[in-house]
């Protein structure tokens, strides 16, 4: 416990230091660039580079703040675990990998942090060591390997540029298109966009504090951050298809969360929905807005996971929301924090989520997108409120799903990080909007367009209530339309596409290749066929000996019939 608190204190001071450093850099509009060249081969220099500008320093400070709170919380949550020291060291390695990735403008040093995130996340997902964790860990690490391969290919491709410092080569050239595609592929796998979305809910097999860290500011946000860094290159290409994938991911995750019953998976799908929003607005040409939402989202999502972890802890490790109900009576402070983080996620005015989401909606309304994008955008905003309303109804309100004989204890070690994150969930949006956008942006849109988001928020709240309320004599919507709810709740069957439908044809193909190529025709014909021939002959001989009287009578009647003819 003491080790957890010291680690938390050190990370909090580091976060404070980097935040003050961000204020210094932002005030003078300057950056700190450190380059150590350790090898030069044929006009291509290999160097270790650190870039500290306003974007990297504030993101690192937020990562350190959230990780310090999560580690402090873990001191109580993992208190009875046998290997809690190992867990702490793995979380610290995870944070260090993210630190390496954020401060690096060099593809080689980015790969160190990128691969570190993938490897440590696999170790944390399989932490509980059961079959479900192993399967989830394999799905997570194999999907992320696609992005790692894309980073490796981009490193080799950047030899054409003469170096690996990507910000020096972000202008248009004949080589840029392939680099653009590889970086987008890497970002999509790490941030779980369609068609790589299935690993993100599966990674919920990890302990809840890890989920809070992963889904707020580390693993899944690494892809978005990398693409924000490369955003100056995107202006030379038509990105409508990638924007469409981001918005469809947002829509699909919102639908899936509205029909899911696992508490952690609902929050994971809400993270996927917000990542789709960040990707969509990034490819539509607003990278700073995407980064702004990335920062505000980090605090209320970490708070949401920490509240969920305490509720699961008190429910005897049951994650099914149908077991819950009346939590507000027994855990009043946790329920208050849970509601504040949910309202911030929905975009309630003057909470942190409102500043980024409202700015994104208004900026997109001014940019003049097509009607299909516009419709998906607003419907997804409504679905965010829908699953948040459903979650609050099932877990917090005075429902009928009491899971009896549980110990409801609000431990101070768990409560203290929630206090800090609640404070940040309320105030971080306004403070960041004043810092990042020092002068107000003029938004000119019609009155009906300005209240359209409010209309969809109210509509989403009503839909969430209807999906969860049980009428007397009528079943739930998810039971009355079971096939629809299964399709929506299973992320459009994407986990099956990523697992069964992928490895079954591969196994059959490898079996055929093994029999044709590895065994060879000589072994197949000479060895196997002679074995099969003598095996069939011996089976026939055994049959004749076992049924001699039947065969004798049958042959007698056959010969007699033949003679009579």
Give the tens place of pLDDT for each residue, 348-396.
Answer: 888 888 888 888 888 888 877 788 888 888 888 888 888 888 888 888 8
Q: For the chain, how are helix, strand and coil distributed in percent, rounded to 5? A: 75, 5, 20
Q: Check residue 393 and give its pLDDT.
A: 83
**Overall average pLDDT of the 19-36 stretch:** 85
Both tokens of 443, joined, read 């938004």
Q: Check residue 50 and give its pLDDT.
A: 85
Does the pLDDT value for residue 427 go beyond 80?
Answer: yes
Rounded CA gap, 110 and 106, in Å? 6
**Overall average pLDDT of the 25-34 stretch:** 84
Does the pLDDT value for residue 472 go beyond 60?
Answer: no
Q: Check residue 357 and give its pLDDT.
A: 86
Torsion-angle region of residue 325: left (phi > 0), alpha (psi -120 to 50) or beta?
left
Phi, psi of 56, deg, nearest 5: -70, -40
Question: For the range 126-130, what are the long-range contacts, defined as Cβ-Cβ under 8 Å and sequence gap of 24 or more?
Answer: 126/205, 127/87, 127/90, 127/206, 127/207, 127/210, 128/205, 128/207
Rounded CA gap, 213 and 302, in Å? 7
Rounded CA gap, 90 and 123, in Å? 8
**Overall average pLDDT of the 218-241 stretch:** 84
Phi, psi of 286, deg, nearest 5: -130, 70
Rounded CA gap, 156 and 179, in Å? 10
C-alpha dist (Å) from residue 564 to 7, 553, 557: 102, 17, 10
Q: Check residue 470 and give its pLDDT.
A: 66
Q: How many residues does the chain have?
A: 565
Question: Which single residue is written with the structure tokens 């693993």?
Answer: 219
Sign of CA dihedral 33, 39, 45, 48: negative
Q: Of 4-18, 462-476, 492-506, where does the model show the most confidence?
A: 4-18
Torsion-angle region of residue 81: left (phi > 0), alpha (psi -120 to 50) or beta?
beta
Residues 275-315: tens digit of each pLDDT = 988 888 888 888 888 899 899 988 888 899 888 888 888 87
Does the pLDDT value for residue 66 go beyond 80?
Answer: yes
pLDDT above 70 as % of the chain: 89
| Average pLDDT over the chain, rounded to an integer | 82
Please, what's the b/e burial string for 388-409 (b: 16 or more CB within 10 A of its CB; e: otherwise)? bbbbbbbbbeebeeebeeeeee
Sign of CA dihedral 7, 8, 9, 14: positive
- 267, 345 contact by CB (below 8 A): no
Phi, psi of 234, deg, nearest 5: -70, -20
Confidence of residue 168 (pLDDT cuts 50, 70, 90): low
Residues 403-418: tens digit of each pLDDT = 654 667 777 888 888 8
Confidence of residue 524 (pLDDT cuts 50, 70, 90): low
Beta strands in 42-198 (DSSP E): 44-52
pLDDT above 90 as % of the chain: 2
**Overall average pLDDT of the 477-506 stretch:** 71
**Overall average pLDDT of the 189-203 stretch:** 84
Q: What angle do CA 430, 432, 434 make, to 5 degrees?
A: 70
Residues 114-163: tens digit of each pLDDT = 888 888 888 888 888 888 888 888 888 888 888 888 888 888 888 777 77
Question: Which single residue is written with the structure tokens 């993938």?
Answer: 118
Q: Check residue 13 and give its pLDDT.
A: 92
Q: Check residue 398 and give its pLDDT.
A: 64
Q: Check residue 399 and give its pLDDT.
A: 59
Q: Which of 140-144, 323-327, 362-366, 526-530 has the lowest mean pLDDT?
A: 526-530
Confidence of residue 509 (pLDDT cuts 50, 70, 90): confident
Q: Which of 200-214, 226-240, 252-266, 526-540 has the lowest mean pLDDT?
A: 526-540
- 33, 49 contact by CB (below 8 A): yes
Alpha helices in 396-499 (DSSP H): 412-436, 447-450, 452-468, 477-480, 482-489, 494-498
**Overall average pLDDT of the 321-342 stretch:** 83
The residue among 217 and 518 whose pLDDT is bigger is 217
Residues 69-100: tens digit of each pLDDT = 988 888 888 777 788 888 888 888 888 888 88
């Amino acid at each position: 416990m003491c080790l957890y608190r010291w680690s938390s204190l050190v990370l909090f001071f580091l976060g404070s230091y980097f935040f003050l450093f961000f204020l210094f850099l932002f005030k003078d509009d300057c950056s700190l660039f450190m380059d150590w060249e350790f090898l030069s081969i044929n006009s291509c220099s290999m160097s270790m580079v650190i870039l500290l500008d306003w974007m990297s320093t504030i993101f690192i400070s937020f990562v350190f703040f959230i990780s310090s709170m999560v580690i402090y919380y873990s001191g109580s949550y993992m208190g009875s675990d046998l290997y809690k020291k190992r867990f702490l060291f793995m979380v610290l390695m995870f944070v260090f990998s993210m630190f390496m990735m954020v401060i690096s403008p060099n593809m080689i040093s980015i790969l160190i942090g990128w691969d570190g995130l993938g490897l440590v996340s696999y170790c944390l997902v399989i932490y509980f060591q059961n079959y479900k964790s192993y399967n989830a860990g394999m799905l997570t690490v194999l999907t992320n390997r696609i992005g790692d391969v894309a980073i490796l290919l981009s490193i080799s491709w950047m030899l054409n540029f003469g170096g690996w410092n990507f910000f020096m080569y972000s202008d248009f050239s004949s080589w840029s298109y392939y680099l653009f595609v590889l970086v987008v592929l890497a970002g999509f796998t790490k941030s779980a966009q369609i068609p790589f979305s299935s690993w993100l809910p599966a990674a919920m097999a990890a302990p809840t504090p890890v989920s809070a860290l992963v889904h707020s500011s580390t693993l899944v946000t690494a892809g978005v951050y990398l693409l924000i860094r490369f955003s100056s290159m995107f202006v030379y290409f038509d990105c409508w298809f990638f924007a469409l994938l981001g918005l469809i991911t947002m829509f699909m995750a919102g639908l899936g969360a509205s029909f899911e019953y696992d508490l952690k998976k609902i929050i994971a799908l809400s993270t996927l929905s917000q990542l789709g929003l960040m990707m969509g607005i990034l490819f539509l040409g607003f990278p700073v807005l995407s980064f702004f939402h990335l920062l505000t989202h980090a605090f209320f999502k970490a708070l949401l996971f920490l509240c969920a972890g305490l509720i699961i802890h008190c429910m005897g490790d049951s994650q099914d929301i149908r077991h819950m109900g009346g939590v507000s009576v027994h855990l009043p402070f946790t329920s208050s924090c849970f509601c504040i983080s949910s309202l911030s996620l929905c975009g309630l005015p003057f909470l942190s989520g409102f500043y980024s989401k409202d700015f994104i909606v208004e900026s997109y309304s001014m940019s003049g997108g097509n009607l299909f994008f516009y419709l998906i955008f607003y419907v997804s905003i409504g679905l965010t409120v829908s699953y948040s309303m459903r979650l609050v109804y099932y877990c917090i309100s005075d429902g009928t799903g009491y899971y009896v004989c549980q110990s409801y204890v609000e431990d101070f070690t768990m409560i203290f990080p929630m206090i800090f994150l609640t404070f940040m969930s309320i105030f971080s949006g306004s403070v960041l909007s004043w810092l990042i956008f020092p002068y107000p942006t003029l938004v000119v849109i019609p009155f009906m367009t300005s209240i359209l988001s409010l209309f969809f928020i109210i509509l989403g709240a009503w839909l969430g209530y209807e999906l969860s309320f049980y009428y007397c004599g009528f079943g739930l919507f998810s039971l009355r339309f079971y096939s629809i709810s299964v399709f929506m709740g299973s992320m459009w069957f994407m986990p099956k596409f990523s697992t069964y439908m992928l490895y079954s044809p591969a196994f059959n193909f490898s079996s055929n290749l093994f029999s044709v190529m590895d065994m060879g025709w000589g072994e197949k014909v000479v060895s196997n066929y002679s074995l099969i021939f003598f095996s069939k002959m011996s089976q026939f001989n055994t049959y004749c000996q076992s049924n001699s009287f039947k065969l004798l009578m049958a042959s007698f009647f056959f010969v007699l019939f033949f003679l009579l003819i």
